[in-house]
Amino acid sequence: MKRNSTRHEPHDGFVGLSRRQFLGGMGAALTLAVSLKSGIANAASLASEAAADAFAPNAFIRIDEAGKVTVVSSYLEMGQGTFTGLATLAAEELDVPMRDVSVVGSPADLRYANPILEAVFGRPVQGTGGSTAMAGAWNQMREAAATARQMLVNAAARRWQVEPASLSVTDGVVVHEASGQRIAYRDLLADAAELPVPENVQLKSPDDFRLIGAEQGTPRVDVPAKTNGSAIFTQDKKLPGMLVAVIAHPPKLWGKVQSVDSSQAEAIPGVVAVVEVPGDDKIQGGVAVLAHNTWVARQGRGALKITWDDSQALTVGSEAILSAFRDLAEQPGIVAEARGTLLDDAPEGGTVIEAVYEQPYLAHSAMEPMNCLVDLQGDRCDIYNGEQWHTGDQSAAAEILGFETEQVSIHQLYAGGSFGRRANARSDYVREAVTLARTARDQGIEAPIKLVWMREDDMRATQYRPLTVQKSRMVLDDAGKLLSWHWRIVGQSFMEMPEGAVDDSLVEGAKEMDYDVPNLRVEQHNPTTFPVPVVWLRSVGHTHTAFVGETQIDEAARATGQDPYQFRRSMLGNNPRALAVLDLVAEKSNWDTPLPEGENGERRHRGMALRTSFGTVVAHVAEVTLHTDGSYVVDRVVTAIDCGVAINPDVIRAQMEGGFGFGLSFLRQGIVFEAGSVVQSNFNDYPVMRMNATPQFDVHIVPSSNAPSGVGEPGVPPAAPAVANALAAMTGHAYHSLPLGGSVATS
């Protein structure tokens, strides 16, 4: 498979395989299938590689005749740097230079199941989420690469009739020091392919790392293609004869099409067909207009005259939901965590801090609106997608089509952001695209169909971070020590839960909190009254619990005359990792030295927040300027992070910068329902942080030899609370509801 020189697709090598190529490659496929641990579901895909790749010792590593290494990523590259991290691990253990390594996305296949998510879900799933990629790949990918290296070294040892242990490898060349003999990997591939796969391989000692942890990091493998327009996202993918579909969703959630007059749409030159997509309990459905050109399809959608049946539609708005949740917040809920005995009242001289916090639904609003390309041909379905939920989406597509999962191939493309949106337990937009393709086929349309959502569709087609109402109550003694914390969280659960079960994600960060609290009770209500579809958004439950916990801690510190840093410190005696991160951020931010006043009556202050999420500890200190008109800007952010071994410090810094920016936007964002419809539509009413609100960053990584944990999400949770704490310190107001807006009351 020759790489197309002008279009860079991260699934390169897995696509473009015709039926004929597949059959022609069967011979190779058979040999290869033997060497793979399980399944031939995607032997067809790998078969094509067998010809070009002389050496494929496992599902993750392939080496071609020129000695170039291809790493197969079971994870989606959506910006978080996973491809680069995997390439780094592989290059490290293989002892090849980074420039010889490229990364492709894997097809959907349980051989690529995510080991951490498997533990969470209790069944194998292939998906990207929970900042698990590096943690999951840390052993898996290194072992895969070390195995390949060992086989190549063994091949050289056999050739020279020497002990493998007497050989070393530098930049893909095996060297026998004693004799001075040298041989490149590319000349050993055929020999190595004949050797048995070693059972146990020795991984490198961290002392020998030359790429992992290198201060400047290894350069991202996807960056060149992302600076010249050649990186191919789903939005860019084309197949011969492909049609683009733009869909009209019900204006009220879960409304259904009653009737449609498509005559005007069909009269538009270029409109090929109008297809009704039946909605169900997982997708909204609607009416799609198909054309060769996106604009034409969009014009066609505008010309549809649809009568909607709202009898089953959501009819309420956010106010009604909030009101119901407020009531629940006053009632005992399902206990998620309980230790000690809650105090009802403060002891003599003590303090009670109690507040109700409200946070809205949030949209992911990735830069690339959701889309999915489906090529349905006979008994085969090829899906091209920025795929974050591989096996789930594959099963969903198979179910809709009445196929076995093997008949559905998923081709990985770059995702233009996702933030969790493309990993969806309902497989919503993939289902919609496949249902559309099936319906279109039934209407006689034989063409690949790419469903594309306009920005407004993306903003309004549901799947949001849940709205929550939280009631939190702290009791402190006369010395300001936190004795008791009662925290009740009301929100829809992220996944369907059995009645009475605890949704750990909804209460994460509260249930297993960073701080020592002798008496703690965390409860939750997971009402199912309002059928607004919810899904995880970058950092999941921490998006809402961090704001409540970290701002209330500051409120308690202010009320008891304590320094927020020292107050936190006093509760981290049993959490040395978090304490070290907190101390580092305080030191690097000069926490103990107040900021100088700004010009023209501006006030300036620091705010801090700390949160362990997905195994990684992050603390931000935000330096905030409050202008006299109430508008505010974050000037500088100091961050400390402990994520175990820092595989790629530069990617870690990038994720802290980006994570802060993503979380900062929470201060201004909210999705609001009115009478069953989403009010927001685009970036004019769903603002995101822009260049001129960008602070300077100073990121400090705690040296660690622990196994790595993720960095894609943990920068998000402490961002908004750090800024809110700085503002609260200046205005004296505690902020209990988001969004705050771009300006606050100054006194």
Partner 1 sequence: MITFTVNGSSHAFDGDPNMPLLWYLRDEADLTGTKFGCGIAMCGACTVHIDGRPVRSCLTPVASVDGRSVETIETAENHPIGKLVQQAWVEGQVPQCGYCQSGQIMSAVALLKTKPSPTDDDIDAAMSGNICRCATYPRIRAAIHSAAEKLAY
Partner 2 sequence: MKFRKLAGGAVAIVVIVAVAFVAYRLLKPEGPEPTPPIAGAAQDLPDDMSRGEYLTKAADCAACHTEKGGTPFAGGRPFQLPFGTIYATNLTPDEETGIGKWSDEAFVAAVREGVGSEGHLYPAMPYTSYTGMSRDDILAIKAYLESLPPVNQPTPENSLSFPFNQRWGMAFWNLAFFDETRFTPDSDQSDAWNRGAYLAGPLGHCGECHTPRNIGFAMQSHDYLAGTEVQGWKAYNTTSDSLYGIGSWSDDQLRGYLSRGHAPGRSSASGPMAEVVEYSLQHLTDGDIDALIAYLRSVEPEQGDRNVTVNVTPAAVEASNAVLPGDDAPVEDPHGRRLFEGDCAGCHQWNGIGRQTEYASLGGSSSVNDPTGTALIQVLLRGTSIEIDGVTQRMPGFGGVYSDTDIAAVANYVLAHFGDKEGTVTADEVAERRAGPAH
686 makes contact, choosing from partner 2, partner 1, none, with CB < 5 to 8 Å by partner type, with partner 2
220 makes contact, choosing from partner 1, partner 2, none, with CB < 5 to 8 Å by partner type, with partner 1
Q: Is position 627 an interface residue for partner 2 (rule: CB under 8 A)?
A: yes
Please give the size of the binding site for partner 2, defined by CB under 8 A: 23
Which of 252, 245, 248 is closest to 306 using CA atoms?
A: 248
679 makes contact, choosing from partner 2, partner 1, none, with CB < 5 to 8 Å by partner type, with partner 2
Taking CB under 8 A as the criterion, which residues in 690-709 touch partner 1? Answer: 690-692, 694-697
Rounded CA-CA distance 360/465 in Å is 8
| Beta carbon of residue 596, minimum distance to partner 1 (angstroms, whole number) | 19
Stretch touching partner 2 by CB under 8 A, among 230-238, 317-325, 378-386, 738-746: 738-746
Whether the bond between 224 and the residue before it is cis, its omega within 30 degrees of 0, is: no
Q: Is position 260 an interface residue for partner 2 (rule: CB under 8 A)?
A: no
Which residue spans within 94-150 are E strands per DSSP?
Answer: 101-105
Sign of CA dihedral 6, 9, 13, 19: negative
Angle CA 624–625–630, to nearest 5: 115
Q: Closer CB to partner 1, residue 480 or residue 712?
A: 712
CB–CB of 385/395 below 8 Å? no
Q: Closer CB to partner 1, residue 182 or residue 690?
A: 690
Stretch touching partner 2 by CB under 8 A, among 26-34, 67-75, 139-147, 685-693: 685-693
Q: Is position 628 an interface residue for partner 1 (rule: CB under 8 A)?
A: no
Structure tokens at 553: 């801690």
Rounded CA-CA distance 575/524 in Å is 25
Helix axes of 649-664 and 719-731: crossing angle, nearest 10 degrees = 50
Rounded CA-CA distance 170/146 in Å is 14
Taking CB under 8 A as the criterion, which residues in 43-82 touch partner 1? Answer: 78-81
Contact residue for partner 1 among 60, 233, 389, 666 (CB under 8 A): 233
- Give the contacts of 340 (CB within 8 A, at least 6 positions apart): 484, 518, 519, 520
Q: Is position 305 an interface residue for partner 2 (rule: CB under 8 A)?
A: no
Stretch touching partner 2 by CB under 8 A, among 82-90, 180-188, 328-336, 689-697: 689-697
- Start-to-end CA distance of the chain, whole Å, equals 66
Contact residue for partner 1 among 341, 590, 631, 682 (CB under 8 A): 682
Q: Closer CB to partner 1, residue 9 or residue 53?
A: 9
| Beta carbon of residue 134, minimum distance to partner 1 (angstroms, whole number) | 15
Stretch touching partner 2 by CB under 8 A, among 66-74, 216-224, 626-634, 646-654: 626-634
* Beta pairing, strands 101-105 & 69-73: parallel
| Beta carbon of residue 292, minimum distance to partner 1 (angstroms, whole number) | 7
Q: Is position 270 an interface residue for partner 2 (rule: CB under 8 A)?
A: no
Contact residue for partner 2 among 347, 573, 601, 741 (CB under 8 A): 741
Taking CB under 8 A as the criterion, which residues in 642-671 touch partner 2? Answer: 668
Taking CB under 8 A as the criterion, which residues in 366-395 touch partner 1? Answer: 366-369
The helix/strand/coil state of 168 is strand
Rounded CA-CA distance 48/46 in Å is 5
Q: Is position 598 an interface residue for partner 2 (rule: CB under 8 A)?
A: no
Contact residue for partner 2 among 690, 696, 706, 732 (CB under 8 A): 690
CB–CB of 565/582 below 8 Å? yes
| Beta carbon of residue 629, minimum distance to partner 2 (angstroms, whole number) | 6
Q: Is position 220 an interface residue for partner 1 (rule: CB under 8 A)?
A: yes
Q: Is position 742 an interface residue for partner 2 (rule: CB under 8 A)?
A: yes
CB–CB of 610/650 below 8 Å? no
Q: Is position 205 an interface residue for partner 2 (rule: CB under 8 A)?
A: no
| Beta carbon of residue 665, minimum distance to partner 2 (angstroms, whole number) | 11
Helix (H) or strand (E) holding 54: strand 53-55
- Cβ count within 10 A of residue 295: 11
Q: Is position 5 an interface residue for partner 1 (rule: CB under 8 A)?
A: no
Structure tokens at 425: 């337990």
- Please classify residue 18 by burial: count the beta carbons closer than 10 Å to its beta carbon, then call 0-12 exposed, 13-18 middle and 19+ buried: exposed
Contact residue for partner 2 among 687, 697, 698, 733 (CB under 8 A): 687
Taking CB under 8 A as the criterion, which residues in 631-650 touch partner 1? Answer: 650
Structure tokens at 382: 């090829």
What is the residue-wise DSSP string for 623-663? EEEE-TTSBEEEEEEEEEEE-SS-S-HHHHHHHHHHHHHHH
Q: How many Cα atoms occupy the beta-carbon half-sphere of 631 within 13 Å? A: 3
Report, in this order, helix, strand and coil percent for the chain, each rounded to 5: 30, 25, 45
In DSSP terms, 722 is beta-bridged to none
Stretch touching partner 2 by CB under 8 A, among 65-73, 219-227, 519-527, 674-682: 674-682
* Beta pairing, strands 632-642 & 696-701: parallel
Rounded CA-CA distance 127/104 in Å is 15
Q: Is position 298 an interface residue for partner 2 (rule: CB under 8 A)?
A: no
Q: Closer CB to partner 2, residue 317 or residue 687?
A: 687
* Beta pairing, strands 53-55 & 61-64: antiparallel
| Beta carbon of residue 564, minimum distance to partner 1 (angstroms, whole number) | 25
Contact residue for partner 2 among 40, 679, 733, 737 (CB under 8 A): 679
Q: Closer CB to partner 2, residue 198 or residue 687?
A: 687
Q: Is position 269 an interface residue for partner 1 (rule: CB under 8 A)?
A: yes
Contact residue for partner 1 among 39, 65, 168, 295 (CB under 8 A): 295
Rounded CA-CA distance 739/747 in Å is 18
Contact residue for partner 2 among 680, 709, 725, 731 (CB under 8 A): 680
Contact residue for partner 1 among 200, 227, 593, 747 (CB under 8 A): 227
**Identity of the amino acid at 71:** V
Structure tokens at 700: 């400090």
Rounded CA-CA distance 67/73 in Å is 19
User: Interface residues with partner 1 (CB under 8 A)?
Assistant: 7, 78-81, 217, 219-220, 222-233, 235-236, 238, 244, 269-270, 292-296, 299, 365-369, 414-419, 452, 454-456, 650-651, 654, 657-662, 664, 682-684, 688-692, 694-697
User: Interface residues with partner 2 (CB under 8 A)?
Assistant: 627, 629-631, 633, 668, 679-687, 690-693, 739, 741-743
